[in-house]
Amino acid sequence: MSGEVKTILKYGHPDLYKKAKIVEDPSHPEVQKLIQDMLATIDHLGASGVAAPQIGTPLSIAIYRVPKQTDNPKYVLTPEYDPDGVPLTVMINPKVTPLGDEMIDTWEGCLSLPGMLGKVARYKSVLCEYTTPEGDHTQREAHGFHARVIQHECDHLGGILYPTHLKDVRDLGYQDEILSSGRFVL
Ligand code: NI
């Protein structure tokens, strides 16, 4: 089964602010097709992750991967935790629990806000419980960038986009302006 590249809904579209529905049957052909479409879409865009609501389907599914290295400056990788990156992961009905109180304030982007970056705080470490496309319940710990990606994608499933977490609206801007102005300090 091959996926179809879908259009990403952009910031402002009302469907991005709705809570996604729980997936009752991961083996359902429509769910499997949706996952294939999500994979095709991030491959096409060279993106790190996408959540189903971003392609207009209100189901609790998010996919992501952490590259080993990147020349895309918006990915603030933390190779100390994931020296080999993290392979493509499909999370169905994920639930995120912070591990500790420590938070990291740094820049992140989103397919729904193309060309923009925002500086927001995320938990440094999280535990994520989810169901796999094969229907198995599993969990993983994540730290640094990996934890940030999981929090970002799972936020989408709750109808939340990163600007919600801005402490100061001036911490949102166009990537080229932020990078060229020297504000992109880690
Ligand atoms: Ni996003």
pLDDT of residue 186: 58
Q: What is the whole-number distance in angstroms between the Cα of residue 118 and the centre of ligand 1?
A: 11
Q: Is there a catalytic annotation at residue 108?
A: no
pLDDT at 13: 98
Determine the Cα–Cα distance for residues 126 and 73; give it in Å rounded to an integer: 24
Q: How far is the CA of 101 from the centre of ligand 1 (A)?
A: 23
Q: What is the pTM of this model?
A: 0.94
Q: Which of 129, 134, 141, 153 is catalytic?
A: 153
Tell how far the Cα of 102 is from the centroid of ligand 1, in angstroms. 22
pLDDT at 73: 66
Token pair of 123, please?
Answer: 């938990």
Q: Which helix (H) or strand (E) holds 176?
A: helix 175-180
pLDDT of residue 68: 85
Please give the pLDDT value at position 115: 94
Compute the distance between CA of residue 20 and CA of residue 67 in angstroms, rounded to an integer: 27
CA 4 – ligand 1 centroid, Å: 19
pLDDT at 179: 86
Give the residue ranges of the chain where pLDDT is below 50.
none
d(CA 44, CA 14): 24
Using alpha carbons, select from 67, 13, 68, 6 the residue that is nearest to residue 35: 6
pLDDT for the residue 12: 97
**Quick one: pLDDT at residue 181?**
84
Check residue 140 and give left, alpha or beta (phi > 0: left; psi -120 to 50: alpha): beta
Torsion of the alpha carbons at 164, 166, 176 and 54, rounded to the nearest 10: -20
